Amino acid sequence: MANTRLILAGAVIAAVLWFATGFVQTLLFAERSSRTVTPRGDLAAFETTAADVFEAAAPSVAYIFTEVAQRSVFGRTRVSEGTGSGFVWDQAGHIITNDHVIADARRVFVRFDSGDTVPARIVGSSPDHDLAVLKVSKSAVSLQPIPVGRSDDLRIGQAVFAIGNPFGLTRTLTTGIVSALGRTLPAQNGREIQGVIQTDAAINPGNSGGPLLDSAGRLIGVNTAIISETGSYAGIGFAVPVDTVNRIVPQIIARGKPARPGIGVSVAAEEFAAQLGVEGVVIIEAVPGGPAAGAGLQGINRRTEELGDVIVAVDGIDVFTAAQLSAELDKAGIGKAVTLTVERNGQKREVTLDTVDIG
């Protein structure tokens, strides 16, 4: 009995001491007013760079939203909305975005960093490069063109910054590095976008058409696509290189579409060449009056079904697909001499001819 009383007394004393300790701590140490702010010190260099890039570029970045008329299965027309990003190209009011952002749009609107929203006119586009040019009234808003850089001197590992409107969330900055260079992306008509920049900066739906910047705040690419099974960021994004943008955009502004260098041939799909065991671009037909026909190139003989010429190189660069042929001609430009290496009946020869605009 005595032992039980001692145990109970000990428990009571322990409980009192525990509560008393908490009371004393609260009484002595609890802050009863706002705490003193600890000085932070300077931002780290990389933080300063990111903040400076965003503050300088944000006024040039735009929020693009579109109205697209769609027909339902019952034949009724309904209007759906799309969103994307863009940026100011010049003081004339030209805005750059992706072609797929404004494709089939009935109306397009641009909202600027200032909050001003204005209607935009579609000047033209290039599905082959996933680029489009819009035009807003110069007097409607204050325009701050984005500084333009280069993409031919980029290095894997250098810092990049993407600004856009993912999921409709405006003024969003993500950072990362150039994770690879020289990628190709499929475009329309069997062509490919060459020299594409790969980055691990987070790019999500709504970022399309927004700028990819270097640490100097210069445009180095236009964000265009991601690889993802869910449609959201999964670690790999792509941007059309600014060297391509700087070449194609002036053409769209001038004529509504870019020039398309060609040599006047129709070619077979790469699957056809593979079935025949041929390495190169099989010419189906040399268009009469075109440069290829004038240089003596021949397509498949429709009567005997015998192969004619197969293009295996352009200016010494091997080509195996129509997309690669188009890319090399695109590099050359309109009205430029190119040297083709062609093969017929096991014999190779070189043919020099001038490109023409087939756009």
String of DSSP letters for 232-254:
S--S-EEEEEHHHHHHHHHHHHH
97 touches 130 (CB < 8 A): no
Q: How confident is the model at residue 17 (pLDDT cuts 50, 70, 90)?
A: low
Q: Which residue has the tokens 């993409």?
A: 151
What range does the domain containing 120 cover?
Answer: 57-135
* Measured distance CA(314)–CA(325) in Å, rounded: 7
* Measured distance CA(105)–CA(145) in Å, rounded: 24
| Residue 18, CB-side half-sphere exposure with 13 Å CA sphere | 6
69: helix, strand or coil: strand
Q: Residue 240 contacts by C-beta under 8 Å, 6 or more apart in sequence? A: 129, 130, 131, 193, 196, 197, 221, 222, 224
* Domain-embedded: residue 1: no
- pLDDT of 58 over the 90 cut: yes
* Domain-embedded: residue 106: yes
Average pLDDT value for residue range 78-98: 88
Q: Do residues 131 and 211 share a domain?
A: no
Catalytic position from the list 130, 214, 309, 330: 130
Q: How confident is the model at residue 268 (pLDDT cuts 50, 70, 90)?
A: confident
At residue 104, the pLDDT reads: 85
Average pLDDT value for residue range 43-70: 90
Catalytic position from the list 100, 151, 214, 326: 100
At residue 216, the pLDDT reads: 95
* Measured distance CA(270)–CA(293) in Å, rounded: 22
214 touches 220 (CB < 8 A): yes
Total length of the chain: 359
* Domain-embedded: residue 233: yes
* Domain-embedded: residue 312: yes
pTM of the predicted model over 0.85: no
Q: How confident is the model at residue 70 (pLDDT cuts 50, 70, 90)?
A: low
pLDDT for 120-138, tens place per residue? 999 999 998 999 999 998 7
Q: Do residues 105 and 188 share a domain?
A: no
203 touches 209 (CB < 8 A): no
At residue 29, the pLDDT reads: 64
At residue 2, the pLDDT reads: 61
Most confident of 84-93, 99-108, 256-265: 84-93
Q: Do residues 298 and 249 share a domain?
A: no
DSSP state of 166: G
Catalytic position from the list 85, 151, 208, 326: 208
* Domain-embedded: residue 50: no
Q: Which amino acid is at 128?
A: D
DSSP track, 145-192: PPPB--STT--TT-EEEEEE-GGG--SEEEEEEEEEEEEEEE-GGG-E
Q: Do residues 271 and 297 share a domain?
A: yes
Q: Closest by alpha carbon to 65, among 168, 185, 145?
A: 168
Q: How confident is the model at residue 23 (pLDDT cuts 50, 70, 90)?
A: low
* Domain-embedded: residue 35: no
| Residue 91, CB-side half-sphere exposure with 13 Å CA sphere | 0
Q: How confident is the model at residue 101 (pLDDT cuts 50, 70, 90)?
A: very high
At residue 19, the pLDDT reads: 64
Q: Answer yes or no: 130 catalytic.
A: yes
Which of 206, 240, 255 is the C-terminal boundary of a domain? 255
Q: How confident is the model at residue 14 (pLDDT cuts 50, 70, 90)?
A: low
Q: Do residues 69 and 93 share a domain?
A: yes
Between 139 and 207, the more confident residue is 207
* Domain-embedded: residue 295: yes
332 C-beta neighbours (distance < 10 Å), count = 17
Q: Do residues 284 and 349 share a domain?
A: yes
* Domain-embedded: residue 164: yes
pLDDT above 90 as % of the chain: 51
DSSP state of 139: T
Q: Do residues 247 and 266 share a domain?
A: no
* Measured distance CA(267)–CA(278) in Å, rounded: 13
pLDDT for 215-244, tens place per residue? 999 999 999 977 666 666 667 899 999 999
Q: Do residues 131 and 165 share a domain?
A: no
351: helix, strand or coil: strand
- pLDDT of 74 over the 60 cut: no
Between 301 and 109, the more confident residue is 109
- pLDDT of 206 over the 70 cut: yes
CATH number, domain of 177, equals 2.40.10.10
* Measured distance CA(281)–CA(144) in Å, rounded: 45
Average pLDDT value for residue range 68-81: 62
Which of 203, 220, 255 is the C-terminal boundary of a domain? 255
Which of 255, 290, 305 is the C-terminal boundary of a domain? 255
Q: How confident is the model at residue 73 (pLDDT cuts 50, 70, 90)?
A: low
Q: How confident is the model at residue 191 (pLDDT cuts 50, 70, 90)?
A: confident
Q: Do residues 238 and 282 share a domain?
A: no
Q: Do residues 242 and 278 share a domain?
A: no
125 touches 133 (CB < 8 A): yes
* Measured distance CA(302)–CA(346) in Å, rounded: 20
* Measured distance CA(101)–CA(168) in Å, rounded: 13
Q: Which amino acid is at 47?
A: E
* Measured distance CA(110)–CA(6) in Å, rounded: 81
Q: Do residues 306 and 249 share a domain?
A: no
Average pLDDT value for residue range 305-316: 90
* Measured distance CA(199)–CA(225) in Å, rounded: 11
CATH number, domain of 300, equals 2.30.42.10
- The number of distinct structural domains making up the chain is 3
Q: How confident is the model at residue 83 (pLDDT cuts 50, 70, 90)?
A: confident
Q: Answer yes or no: 129 catalytic.
A: no
Q: Do residues 250 and 276 share a domain?
A: no
Average of per-residue pLDDT values in the chain: 86
- pLDDT of 77 over the 60 cut: no
pLDDT for 282-293, tens place per residue? 999 989 999 999
341: helix, strand or coil: strand
